[in-house]
Structure 1
Amino acid sequence: MLALSMIYNTEDIPMDNLQSPDSYNKIARRGAMLKVAEGRVTIRCAQALCLLAYYNFIVGNIPMAGFDIATVQNMVHLLPGSERNPSSSAVSQDKSRLFWSIQCLSSSCGRPVLLPSIPTSIDAPQMLTVETRDSLGSCIPAPKATDSGLRETLVDVWSQSLKICELWSDVRLYVAKCFEGLAKRPWHPDSDYTRLCSRLLEVEMIWPISLSYNATKFPEISPLEVENNRMDWLPWLRVQMTYHTIHCVLNHPSLYTVMAETPKSRLGGDSFWRASYLKALRHCTWVSRLIRTAEEKSLRLADPFFAQAAAIASTLHLYWTRTNDSQLQASSVRNLEVCRNLVREMATCWPVCKTIVCPPT
């Protein structure tokens, strides 16, 4: 916690007798790994590894963050009581919160599950993705506010947000497939694009009405009320941003530049591209609108995901600043500035966000 705090805001922390953030990171890692080596696995030890994963993520050490996530995912099964029915009421809220926090973190920066395979020649082995959605048994339940004794303005909003976190990890995998040239044409009925859009619609349909944008009336809430309940509003805002960012990614024109060398006769008609164009425009506008509303409420955004979402939306706004439509161009310029300001602000706090502003050469 000290390492994370020192990186985010050193101005409010007296630096006398303090070491560097990396020193505290190494001390925490040594203590956690020693307990693992001795077989003394506890919830506190797993929580420490979860924080270590987040630390490595925000400093830009993504491979080490992935290692920590994979380690703690396996550790959870060794915690006391794991041999019992995972869906039983005996599962503590601490363990439930830990388990699903790991899954959420894995969706943001963890490595996808890949299986080595030799489909044809031993000279050409391949890594296969695991995308089955078949139910295999019960699971540790998501934490509930009533069981934790918490009073929430937006009841169980964090647990509900887990529904869309899983989808974000599949979107990341889809982007990788596109860059490798392995994704099917998006208009195909069995393409990743079609499947992801279907799952996104399913999440939207099962999302509690009480947590919807219209029901919460976020723009009408006073800044003081938002600040007093920021632990509710931040996960709610992340859900909204994730939803619109997924649409931005799935319909991003740059994602399909790999098709540029495809004969025009195989690129399909204009109907798909026109619909995709309109979706990208609508949802990147929503991203900037949510950022602007958060600013009006003085809601400080500290999660690096918000910078990533703003950066993705920025690339689309930049695309439309070159349009011949003067009205669309003007709004795109304004929205671009909103998104870029958030990225710049977060780059002063998190090293991983600096790579968005100044990508490594």
Structure 2
Amino acid sequence: MFSSIRSRYERPPSSGASRMPPWGPQPSLPPWKQIGPIAELYLLYCDSQPLPLFCRNRFLASLHDRDVEVTLAIIALGIRFTNSYSNTENDISVVNGYAEAARGLVMKRVSEGPVEISTLQCLCLLSLVDFTNGNTHRSSIHSSLAMNLAQCANLGLKPRTATSPTTLEERRRCFWSICLLKRLHGADFSILDLPDVGRPPFPDSPPRPPRAMSPGPSSLEARRSEMQDQGIIAYVIMLSETFGRIARYVRLRGRPGKVPPWSPESEYSKILALQMDLETRMPLTHRFKPANLSDRSPEELQANREYWGPWFLNQFMYHTILCLLNHPLLLSLSLRTFRNTIPEIFLQHTSDLISSHTTWIIHFINYFEEKSFLVSDPLLGYSAAVVATIELQLSFTDDAAIREEKRTRFSKCVKFVQQIGEKWPHMARMAQRLLHLEDAVSATYQSDPGAQNQSLIIDLSRFWDILEYSSNSDSDSARRLFGDSLFAGPPLAMAEVSQTSPLPAPTRLITPVSGPSNLPSQSLHSDVGFAGAQDYPDDSLVVPQQLALPTDDDISILATNFFSQGQEFLRGGDSWENIGNF
């Protein structure tokens, strides 16, 4: 198959910066007249969206000198953005053909040597290709292998021999790309896991494009100029540490801890504190207000994607962390053992955060549509999917205005994920899962609380399929990778009624009819902040209670307790109205 999609080509003479593989002739590549435009598309839509692997100023000129496996992996990503690519089975086969050729070369390099910086770069690219194709296990193997090789080679340390500035820059770009890859894909990883490697400087970043109306810094920016600016890519890397922690928090699936979330010792409070600490290190120049997005033309945004790509990634990570930390489903599950002592101020705190940060994600989605900005970073699709699960859960209410608004926002998120899915297969599957979730949850809902079928339960596994980003298509990925002697099959999903219900609304003097639909006029963010998979039967989410078997609480939830009509969180005699009010 692969030979049918490429033509024979012998690489032109190079400057000798790259050695030929010692095991024989290199594989064929497409003609360089085809590689060049694809590499330009990679630079435009993939570089720093999310991985900042290469030096932009020499990327195109260095293609002839790069090892073949890197070029093949670059093609496997960049070809998705050609006009002819449509994410069909044939197009996916083309992508996989280039990726498999690169994989064969890089694995042979790892086993026989010499391992070069290009080896680690290729492993990062292949990890991204595999992850977006749903091969999450193999993706993890590639990124972990890259991490181990980086540790063995002391990649984080400055070489003692004379090295060009470009080589030094690509070394640290590779180091931080590996870290970023592990964190964004939810690995249990910390910089402390690499005590012998050291910590190189952050990669160079492009400056923020000047404002058309006022190219110089504003007076407020000038007053804040004493804060050192490490560059937008550095702040993406910093925030990815919190993103990795929230991914591990989500994998707990709301299991109650020993202390309540409002305790300073809880993981909830620690993540929130880390988020706020990172925000204090964010200079004003990279925040929302100075960006002056409303005055940026589509042409200006497109011409400066090297800055706006990581800038939007930073924004979406910031808001997604807070959406996941305060997700109504996760919180209601985690508060099961503290139902008698929930303070009113905590309810107001979480309610306000969810309202604000889901609205920010919706605002950016509207902005992309208004500016016709092509979003190429798949992580932004995950952020929209997280918001979609929140909007779906909150849409089940008797208030017609709220219901209509939440359904509109849900549909907007799904459409956004579908658009990103035109380039990335795992996002296409994510959109399908959202639609299946909508159909299945809706099947258990009745607007009349008195008519609610008490025997219906909601299987929460579909929520975890969406919220646990790194576990997307996990069982299918394992089946493709492991043989019969290792593969144990997916875990049995047995249903159990969970003793929980939605959190109550906090007591307010004036309760708005619906949440904000436009950009918030005042918020911490706007002032100083950062701003095929396996198909399921349509009725698989609805399970008769009499067939339920005991298992973990994270499997299912009683339908009448999931929807906003649930009358009681407590199973004793106390009601929500008597909790937490002064």
TM over 0.5: yes
One-letter code aligned to 1:3? A
| Residue 116 (structure 1) aligns with | none
Alignment of 1:308-323 (within 5 A): 308-323=382-397
Q: 1:98 aligns with which of 148, 154, 174?
A: 174
Corresponding residue for 2:269? 194
1:358 alignment partner in structure 2? 432
Q: Show the counterpart of 1:251.
A: 326
Rate the CA distance shift 1:235–1:37 in 2: closer, same or farther, 3 A.
same
For residues 194 and 79 of structure 2, the distance between their equivalents in structure 1, rounded to whole angstroms, comes to 43
Matches within 5 A, 1:1-361: 1-6=74-79, 11-12=84-85, 20-79=94-153, 84=158, 92-113=168-189, 138-145=198-205, 153=209, 156-182=231-257, 184-259=259-334, 261-262=336-337, 264-265=339-340, 267-323=341-397, 327-359=401-433, 360=534, 361=536
Contact 1:317 1:332 in 2 (8 A): yes
Aligned-partner Cα distance in 1 for 2:155–2:424: 37
TM-score, normalization: structure 1? 0.83
CA shift, 1:255, in A, is: 0.5
- Whether the aligned pair in 2 keeps the contact of 1:4 and 1:55 (CA below 8 Å) is yes
SS at match of 1:40: coil
Of Structure 1 and Structure 2, the greater helix share is in: 1
Q: Identify the residue that residue 125 of structure 1 maps to in structure 2.
A: none
Worse overlay, 55-64 or 170-179: 170-179
Conserved 8 A contact 1:177-1:183: no
Deviation readout 1:263-310 (Å, 9 max, x if unpaired): 632x52332122201211111011010111122222111111111100
Instruction: Work out the CA distance in 1 between the residues paired with 2:194 and 2:121.
Output: 29
Query: Per the alignment, in what secondary structure is the counterpart of residue 35 of structure 1?
Result: helix
How far the C-alpha of 1:27 sits from its partner, in A, is 1.5
How far apart are residue 134 of structure 1 and its match?
12
Which is bigger in relative contact order (C-alpha 8 A, separation at least 6)? 2
Residues 116-138 of structure 1, C-alpha deviations (whole Å, 9 max, x = no match): xxxxxxxxxxxxxx797999995
Q: Per the alignment, in what secondary structure is the counterpart of residue 407 of structure 2?
A: helix
CA deviation after TM superposition for structure 1 residue 330, in Å: 4.2
Looking at structure 1, the residues matched to 157 and 262 of structure 2 have their Cα atoms a distance apart, in angstroms, of: 45
Asked if the contact 2:151–2:194 (Cα under 8 Å) also holds between the matched residues in 1, the reply is no
Task: Tell me the secondary structure at the aligned position of residue 201 of structure 2.
Answer: coil
Matched with 2:39 is none
Identity of aligned pairs, percent? Answer: 24
Maintained 8 Å contact 1:174/1:183: no
Long gaps (5+) in structure 1: 114-129
Structure 1 residues 188 and 50, CA gap change in structure 2 (3 angstroms): same
Report SS of the residue matched to 1:337: helix
Please state whether the residue corresponding to 2:337 is helix, strand or coil: coil
Note the C-alpha offset of 1:257.
3.5
Q: Contact 1:7–1:349 (CA<8 Å) still a contact in 2?
A: yes
Rate the CA distance shift 1:263–1:96 in 2: closer, same or farther, 3 A.
Answer: closer
The structure with more radius of gyration: 2
Provide the rounded CA distance (Å) in 2 between the counterparts of 1:250 and 1:202.
16
1:102-122 CA-to-partner distances (Å, cap 9, x unmatched) read 111111115214xxxxxxxxx
Q: Which runs of 5+ in 2 are unaligned?
A: 1-73, 211-228, 434-533, 537-582
Deviation at 1:92, TM superposition (A): 0.5
Aligned pair count reads: 338
Determine the C-alpha separation between the residues in 2 that align with 1:264 and 1:19: 52
Looking at structure 2, the residues matched to 188 and 200 of structure 1 have their Cα atoms a distance apart, in angstroms, of: 16
SS in 2 for 1:20: helix
C-alpha separation in 1, matches of 2:98 and 2:194: 42
| Matched AA of 1:335 | R
Letter in 2 for 1:11: S
Residue pair 2:155, 2:171 contacting (<8 A) in 1 also: no
CA contact (8 A) 1:171 1:246 kept: yes
**CA distance, structure 1, for counterparts of residue 192 and residue 154 of structure 2:** 29
- Aligned CA distance change for structure 1 residues 39 and 78 (closer, same or farther; 3 Å): farther
CA–CA separation in structure 2 for the residues paired with 1:294 and 1:175: 28
Q: Tell me, what secondary structure is at the counterpart of 1:92?
A: helix
Distance 1:249 1:331, change over 3 A: same
**Which is further off, 304-313 or 75-84?**
75-84
Deviation track 1:27-72 (CA, whole Å, cap 9, x = no partner) reads 2111111111123111111111110000011001111111111100
Q: Match of 1:188, as an amino acid?
A: S
- Counterpart Cα distance in 2 of 1:316 and 1:274: 17
Classify 1:76/1:337 alpha carbon distance in 2 versus 1 (closer, same or farther; 3 Å). Answer: same
For residues 218-267 of structure 1, what are the alpha-carbon distances to aligned partners after superposition, in whole Å with 9 as ceiling and x for unaligned? 122111111111121111011111111111101111102434653632x5
Deviation track 1:184-230 (CA, whole Å, cap 9, x = no partner) reads 42111110110111111111111010011001111221111111111
What is the rounded CA distance, in whole Å, between the counterparts of 2:164 and 2:309 in structure 1?
28
Q: What is aligned with 2:578?
A: none
